[in-house]
Amino acid sequence: MKNDRNRPEWVPKDKQDDISFTTNVMKGIEGDSNDGVPSHSRKFVKKHDRTVDEYVSGVLKNDRTILAQAITLVESNATKHLEKAQDVINELLPHVGKSIRIGITGVPGAGKSTFIEAFGKYLCEKGHRVAVLAVDPSSSVTGGSILGDKTRMEELSRDRRAFVRPSPSGGTLGGVNRKTRETILLCEAAGYDVILVETIGVGQSEVVVRSMVDFFLLLVLTGAGDELQGMKKGVMELADALLINKADGDNKQKAIATQAEYNRILHYLRPATVGWLTKAYTASALYGEGMDSLWKTILQFEAETKNSGTFEKRRQNQSREWIDAMIKDHLISSFFSDPTIKAKLPILEQDVLSGKQTVTKGVREILNFYERKTK
């Protein structure tokens, strides 16, 4: 039999024609493992666990790899990473706070990602270094996230003067990762002087973003009357500027009419920032139009609020809010991770569902138990 040693062992003995089969056994590489490398010489390289100094040095040098790893560190929920992440941020504190932080939100279909890419490219060409923190929605069922903003901002992602970081929201209110504030600090320490924070635009999320940025931009489409039906008044009251996107082609005149309509509405709303009059503007992210006018507005806002003291006062208030939010997060985490609470909660839920006691009475009992336990 020809090529007998290449003949698969499962071939019937009475079958003499190798051509009838598409599989032949090929001689492998000599050795005692599947790749020919002796197992005693195989080395498994453990991923390098960076020190605090390595993280700090890398971020200050704007090493994009280390910056990305540092952001991953602060986003981690692992207890072992928390202390190191805080040590890194603490060392970087003297180098933060020198950027203009801009929050961007909008109704679905307003073209947020397209606008951010166009605006980011414009700023890079002006000599700025731009960090984009694009928060992706996480599934409330699986916890998974699409993380597609880096794909949608392909050109900006390739620009060495820009840093695009999509982050899963983790299902938190507002779609903004609870670590976004710390990510902003890392980007500032790395030398990015314009920070853009995109929200998923679902309503109450904007309140969270407003609490961590200096200037808040709301993207809308033409047709102010229709949009107001689906937009909460409170969202408009958070904005320092409204931008009617897609003001190009046949839609340009309609966008100008919408701009006038929004300016009439904004006249009756309380301004988001003391001493600043919120106005509506038009732009076309597709053609890069309106970027220069918007940037001049933001620079004017920064200058006026710094002169009046509003800029610094807002950042101080944001730090206070951050303290409150961190305490609440810690208390909630501590409560639900307690083993005895984990054991008692199912019993409480069952008693409430079966009608044995009210929700209020059950919650008061378990909270009183927890308070006695932690004293």
pLDDT, tens digit (0-9, with 9 covering 90-100), for 38-49? 555 455 445 568
Would you say the C-alpha torsion 67, 71, 74, 80 has a positive or negative sign? negative
- Cα–chain-centroid distance for residue 13? 63
User: In this predicted structure, what is the pLDDT of residue 47?
Assistant: 59
In eight-state DSSP terms, residue 78 is -
pLDDT digits 0-9 by tens, 296-308: 999 999 999 999 9
According to CATH, what is the number of the domain 96-307?
3.40.50.300
Beta bridge partners of 102: 196, 215
Both structure tokens of 99? 């950027």
pLDDT digits 0-9 by tens, 8-34: 566 666 655 555 555 555 555 555 444
Percent above pLDDT 70 for the chain:
75
Which residue blocks in the chain are alpha helix, DSSP H? 52-60, 64-75, 79-92, 112-125, 149-152, 154-158, 180-189, 205-210, 224-229, 233-238, 252-266, 291-308, 310-337, 339-353, 359-374
Helices 64-75 and 180-189 pack at an angle, to 10 degrees, of 160
Band of residue 322 on the pLDDT scale cut at 50, 70, 90: confident
Fold of 320-374: Helix Hairpins (1.10.287)
Band of residue 56 on the pLDDT scale cut at 50, 70, 90: very high
Region of poorest pLDDT, from 68-72, 139-143, 358-362, 367-371: 139-143
Region of poorest pLDDT, from 51-55, 314-318, 325-329, 361-365: 325-329
3-class DSSP state of 203: coil
Q: Is the pLDDT of residue 239 over 70?
A: yes
* 190: CB partners within 8 A, 6+ apart: 59, 60, 62, 67, 131, 163
Q: How far apart are CA 55 and CA 84, in angstroms?
A: 10
Q: How far apart are CA 200 and CA 189, in angstroms?
A: 26
pTM of the model: 0.79
Q: Is the pLDDT of residue 332 over 60?
A: yes
Q: How far apart are CA 174 and CA 190, in angstroms?
A: 26
According to CATH, what is the number of the domain 49-95?
1.20.5.170
In eight-state DSSP terms, residue 131 is E
Domain limits of the chain? 49-95, 96-307, 320-374
User: In this predicted structure, what is the pLDDT of residue 5?
Assistant: 56
